[in-house]
Structure 1
Amino acid sequence: MSSSSHHAVLSRFYVSIFFSFFVLSAGGQIRNAPLTKIDAERASKNYQQYCALCHGTEREGNAADYAPSLRSKSLMSTMPLNFLASSIGFGRPNTAMAAYLSDSGGPLTMKDIFILATWLKHQSGAETISLPLKPIDGDPVAGSAVYQQNCTECHGVKAEGITAPALANPAFLAFATDEYIKYAIVNGRDNTEMQAFNEVLSDRQINDLTAYIRSLTSGWSPEPKELSPYPKPGAYVTNPNGDHPDFKLREGRYVPMKQVAKALKEGKRIVLLDTRTTSEWHNAHIPGAIPIPYYITEEKVDEGLPKDKTWIIAYCSCPHAASDKIINMLRKKGFKNTAVIDEGFFNWINAGHPIIGGKPE
Structure 2
Amino acid sequence: MTRSTKSARFAGQFYILLLFFLANVAQAQTRNAPLTKIDAQRAEQNYQKYCALCHGADREGNAADYAPSLKSRSLMSTMPLNFLASSIGFGRPNTAMAPYLADTGGPMSMKDIFTLAIWLKYKAGHETIELSMEPIEGDLNTGATLFVQKCSECHGSKAEGVTAPALANPAFLAFATDAYIKYAIENGREETEMKAFKTQLSQQQINDLTAYIRSLTSGWSPEPKELSPYPEPKDYVTNPTGKNPTFTLKQERYVPMEQVAKAIQENNKLVLLDTRTSSEWHNAHIPGAIPIPYYISEDKVAAGLPKDDTWIIAYCSCPHAASDKVINMLRKKGFKNTAVIDEGFFNWINAGYPIIGGQPE
> What are the Cα deviations for residues 225-260 of structure 1, in whole angstroms up to 9, with x where unaligned?
210000001100000111111111111001111111
| Residues 47-56 or 212-221, more deviating | 212-221
Counting aligned pairs with the same residue, the percent is 73
| TM-score normalised to structure 1 length | 0.95
Correspondence for 1:97 = 97
* Match of residue 108 from structure 2: 108
- Please say if 1:16 is aligned against 2:18: yes
Q: Which moved more, 1:260-269 or 1:287-296?
A: 260-269
* Contact 1:11/1:224, CA 8 A, preserved across alignment: no
Change (3 A) 1:215 1:122: same
Distance 1:20 1:132 in 2: 20
Partner of 2:251 in structure 1?
A: 251
**Aligned-residue offset at 1:298:** 0.1
After TM superposition, give the deviation of residue 162 of structure 1 in Å.
Answer: 1.0
- SS of the equivalent of 1:128 reads coil
Cα separation, 1, equivalents of 2:152 and 2:11: 42
Q: Residues 22 and 82 of structure 2 are in contact (CA less than 8 Å); yes or no, is this contact kept in structure 1?
A: no
2:55, 2:67 within 8 Å by CA — same for their partners in 1?
Answer: yes
Report the CA distance shift for 1:17/1:311 in structure 2 as closer, same or farther (over 3 A).
same
**What displacement does 1:221 show?**
2.3
What is the CA deviation profile of residues 211-236 of structure 1, one whole-angstrom value per residue up to 9, with x for unaligned ones?
00000001112343210000001100
**Distance in 2 (alpha carbons) for counterparts of 1:14 and 1:230:** 25
Please report the TM-score for the alignment, with normalisation by the length of structure 2.
Answer: 0.95
Q: Structure 1 residues 194, 156: CA separation in 2 closer, same or farther (over 3 Å shift)?
A: same
**Secondary structure of 2:42 counterpart:** helix
Gaps of 5+ in 1: none
CA contact (8 A) 2:247 2:255 kept: yes
Query: Partner residue of 1:290?
Result: 290
In 1, the alpha carbon distance for the partners of 2:171 and 2:20 equals: 14
Provide the C-alpha distance between the structure 2 equivalents of 1:267 and 1:281, rounded to a whole number of angstroms. Answer: 22
Hey, what does 1:194 align to over in structure 2?
Answer: 194
In the other structure, the counterpart of 2:119 is 119
Give the Cα–Cα distance (whole angstroms) in 2 for the partners of residues 20 and 5 of structure 1. 24
Deviation at 1:349, TM superposition (A): 0.9
**How many Å separate the matches in 1 of 2:325 and 2:171?**
28
Q: Distance in 2 between matches of 1:62 and 1:14?
A: 35
**Cross-structure match for 1:68:** 68
> Whole-Å Cα distance in 2 between the matches of residues 72 and 318 of structure 1?
22
* Partners of 1:19 and 1:218 in 2: CA distance: 22
Residue 359 of structure 1 corresponds to which residue in structure 2? 359
Partner of residue 87, structure 1: 87
Distance 1:22 1:148 in 2: 39
Q: In the TM superposition, what is the alpha-carbon distance from 1:348 to its structure 2 partner?
A: 0.8
Tell me if structure 2 keeps the 8 A contact 1:30–1:80: no
Does the 8 A contact of 1:19 with 1:222 survive in 2?
no
**Whole-angstrom distance in 2 between the partners of 1:121 and 1:31:** 14
| Separation in structure 2 between the aligned mates of residue 14 and residue 37 of structure 1, nearest angstrom | 31
CA shift for structure 1 position 104? 1.0
| In 2: Cα distance, 1:311 partner to 1:78 partner | 47
- Equivalent residue of 1:273, what SS? strand
- Counterpart of 2:63 in 1: which secondary structure? coil
| In structure 2, C-alpha distance between the alignment counterparts of 1:75 and 1:280, rounded to whole Å | 26
Corresponding residue SS for 1:74: helix
Of residues 43-52 and 148-157 in structure 1, the stretch that sits farther from structure 2 once superposed is 148-157
Mapped partners of 1:354, 1:125: distance in 2 = 45
Displacement of 1:117 in angstroms is: 0.3
- Contact preservation (8 Å) 1:272, 1:313: yes
Tell me if structure 2 keeps the 8 A contact 1:273–1:312.
yes
* Stretch moving more, 42-51 or 192-201: 192-201
Residue equivalent to 1:346: 346
Contact 1:22 1:175 in 2 (8 A): no
Structure 2 CA distance for aligned equivalents of residues 13 and 317 of structure 1: 27
Check whether the contact 1:312–1:339 (CA below 8 A) recurs between aligned residues.
yes
Which amino acid is 1:348 matched to?
Answer: W
> Is 1:184 the equivalent of 2:184?
yes
Cα distance, 1:30–1:176 mapped onto 2, change above 3 Å: farther
Question: Given that residues 21 and 110 in structure 2 are in contact (C-alpha distance below 8 angstroms), is that contact kept between their aligned partners in structure 1?
Answer: no
Q: In the alignment, what sits opposite 1:279?
A: 279
Aligned twin of 2:262: 262
Measure, in 1, the Cα distance between the counterparts of 2:210 and 2:134.
13
Does the residue aligned with 2:281 lie in a helix, a strand or coil?
Answer: helix
Counterpart of 2:312 in structure 1 is 312
Tell me the amino acid that sits aligned with residue 74 of structure 1: S
CA distance, structure 2, for counterparts of residue 148 and residue 303 of structure 1: 49
Secondary structure, aligned partner of 2:77 = helix
Q: Distance in 1 between matches of 2:171 and 2:326?
A: 29
2:220 match: 220
* CA RMSD after TM alignment: 2.1
In 1: Cα distance, 2:256 partner to 2:82 partner:
41
Deviates more, 1:76-85 or 1:11-20: 11-20
- When the two structures are aligned, how many residues end up with a matched partner? 358
- Structure 2: stretches of 5+ with no match in the other structure: none
The DSSP-based 3-state class of the residue aligned with 1:238 is: coil
- Using the TM superposition, give the Cα deviation of residue 71 of structure 1 relative to its aligned residue in structure 2, in angstroms: 0.3
Counterpart CA distance in 2 for 1:343 and 1:161 is: 17
Q: Which residue of 2 aligns with 1:211?
A: 211
